Chains A and B, each alone.
Chain A
């Protein structure tokens, strides 16, 4: 979906064909994830000598100058070299600092930060929050180490998942452990849809459950999740995986269904324009849920919330293909 700011689209639009994980990460990660904080600053009255010592102590190549928490300038290592050369190292920062400081906002994506580094050739940017307060400093190496950290975290996650899979296969793919997946579902969060059903399918696959049961359980979960996203003020999905069945409970905070019988008819929908443009609101959500469930209960009070309980039976082991 096109929710990213314009600059991010132009950067990424060139080649949508091959995208590495790192490339995706620089879209997802924000400047605030990578920046160093709190920023070490100096005042306009501090001498360049004082600032040189700060740089030496912290191995910085630039120090932002602030006055009453507002960014007023920056002194870089070049300014210090000039000051030593021209013999004004004892002057206050105010006299020699650069005043037109290019800054980044903390909510910018890293892809934008990388583009700004390329464009200006600077080694660092002061970072401001939305209210214009200086909250951190970001360097090129901050971006690199942030990417490395995130890649490492994802690799660890992938290894853990693999270990889980291997362990499950070692026990013949069968497990009697009851797994409960519980997720808050936010209204209008179309991009977040499908996470619970994806996890559910993964677990059922590991357990060697047959594809038809897997698909039915995933469809009920997905439709229930999107129902909450499209129609309610928000709610919760709980999926309980038992040895003999999958139980799916979807509870939302309202506004409730006026006429359940009508809602169960194929083609009936009250979805608004945005969800319809995205291909939701076909009026088949509840009918799909009904068709896929072995047991279904829906309770709804107009003005209150809706509670949906669905069960999908798991065929006995040995009958699986």
Chain B
């Protein structure tokens, strides 16, 4: 299987996303989509992009626990400033797009993320 790695900058243009955190250099090796925290804890692979509409503090805890690379908030959901700082401390990039989760997923798949 062809595994595709996306750079964060490529991702931003692809899904018309804003980067909420300070520029964290990172590469995305895959993607997991869920709004249930335990589901992410159970199934997400390390270094992937997590797509969700949840924006609270526990999202960062879960992302850090699983060593995820980045979190994408869809439907223009925006976290509180303190959450952004927490993510920066943990080295996790936060992104925001006005696309729905479905639309974002489609674009990520087309770009070769598997």
Interfacial residues, chain A to chain B (CB-CB below 8 A): 1-2, 4, 12, 16-19, 21, 23-24, 27-28, 190-191, 193-194, 197-198, 201, 211, 215, 218-219, 222-223, 226, 278-285, 287-288, 291
Give 17 new A-B contacts, CB below 8 A, not counting A12-B80, A288-B42, A291-B42: A1-B56, A4-B80, A16-B78, A16-B80, A17-B20, A27-B82, A194-B60, A194-B64, A197-B61, A198-B61, A198-B64, A211-B67, A215-B66, A222-B62, A279-B35, A280-B37, A284-B41
Q: Which listed residue (A223, A278, A288) contacts B54, Cβ 8 A?
A: A278
Residues in B neighbouring A226, C-beta threshold 8 A? 37, 58
Q: Is the CB of B81 within 8 A of A16?
A: yes
Q: Is the CB of B42 within 8 A of A191?
A: no
Q: Is the CB of B65 within 8 A of A16?
A: no
Q: Mark B81-95, 1 if CB is under 8 A from A, else 0.
A: 110110000000000
Q: Is the CB of A284 within 8 A of B58?
A: no
Kindly provide the distance from the CB of B93 to the nearest chain A CB, expressed in whole angstroms.
13
Q: Is the CB of B38 within 8 A of A285?
A: yes
Q: Is the CB of A282 within 8 A of B38?
A: yes
Known: A27-B81, A198-B64, A282-B36. A219 touches B41 (CB 8 A): yes
Residues in B neighbouring A223, C-beta threshold 8 A? 38, 41
Residues in A neighbouring B64, C-beta threshold 8 A? 194, 198, 201
Q: Is the CB of B65 within 8 A of A284?
A: no
Q: Is the CB of A1 within 8 A of B80?
A: yes
Q: Is the CB of A284 within 8 A of B36?
A: yes
Kindly provide the distance from the CB of B87 to the nearest chain A CB, expressed in whole angstroms.
11
Q: Is the CB of B39 within 8 A of A16?
A: no
Residues in B neighbouring A198, C-beta threshold 8 A? 61, 64
11 A-B contacts, Cβ less than 8 Å apart? A1-B56, A23-B81, A27-B81, A193-B57, A194-B64, A222-B65, A226-B37, A279-B58, A284-B41, A285-B38, A288-B41
Task: Tell me, yes or no, whether B27 is within 8 Å of chain A by CB.
Answer: no
Q: Is the CB of B22 within 8 A of A18?
A: yes
Q: Which of B38-61 contact A (CB under 8 A)?
A: 38-39, 41-42, 46, 52, 54, 56-61
Q: Which listed residue (A17, A19, A284) contacts B38, Cβ 8 A?
A: A284
Interfacial residues, chain B to chain A (CB-CB below 8 A): 18-20, 22, 35-39, 41-42, 46, 52, 54, 56-62, 64-67, 78-82, 84-85
Q: Which listed residue (A18, A28, A193, A285) contacts B82, Cβ 8 A?
A: A28
Kindly provide the distance from the CB of A42 to the nearest chain B CB, expressed in whole angstroms.
41
Chain B residue at minimal CB-CB distance from A195: B61
Q: Is the CB of B52 within 8 A of A279?
A: yes
For the complex, what is the distance from the CA of A267 to the CA of B88, rounded to whole Å?
33
Residues in B neighbouring A193, C-beta threshold 8 A? 57-58, 61
Residues in A neighbouring B20, C-beta threshold 8 A? 16-17
Q: Is the CB of B80 within 8 A of A284?
A: no
Kindly provide the distance from the CB of B71 to the nearest chain A CB, expressed in whole angstroms.
12
Residues in B neighbouring A284, C-beta threshold 8 A? 36, 38-39, 41-42
Residues in A neighbouring B46, C-beta threshold 8 A? 211, 215
Nearest 9 A/B pairs, CB to CB: A194-B61, A282-B36, A284-B38, A19-B81, A282-B38, A218-B65, A279-B54, A279-B37, A1-B56
Residues in A neighbouring B82, C-beta threshold 8 A? 19, 24, 27-28
Q: Which listed residue (A190, A197, A287) contacts B57, Cβ 8 A?
A: A190
Q: Which listed residue (A1, A2, A222, A278) contacts B41, Cβ 8 A?
A: A222
Q: Is the CB of B38 within 8 A of A280?
A: yes
Q: Which of B56, B79, B81, B84 has the most CB of A within 10 A?
A: B81
For the complex, what is the distance from the CA of A223 to the CA of B22, rounded to whole Å?
29
Q: Is the CB of A190 within 8 A of B58?
A: yes
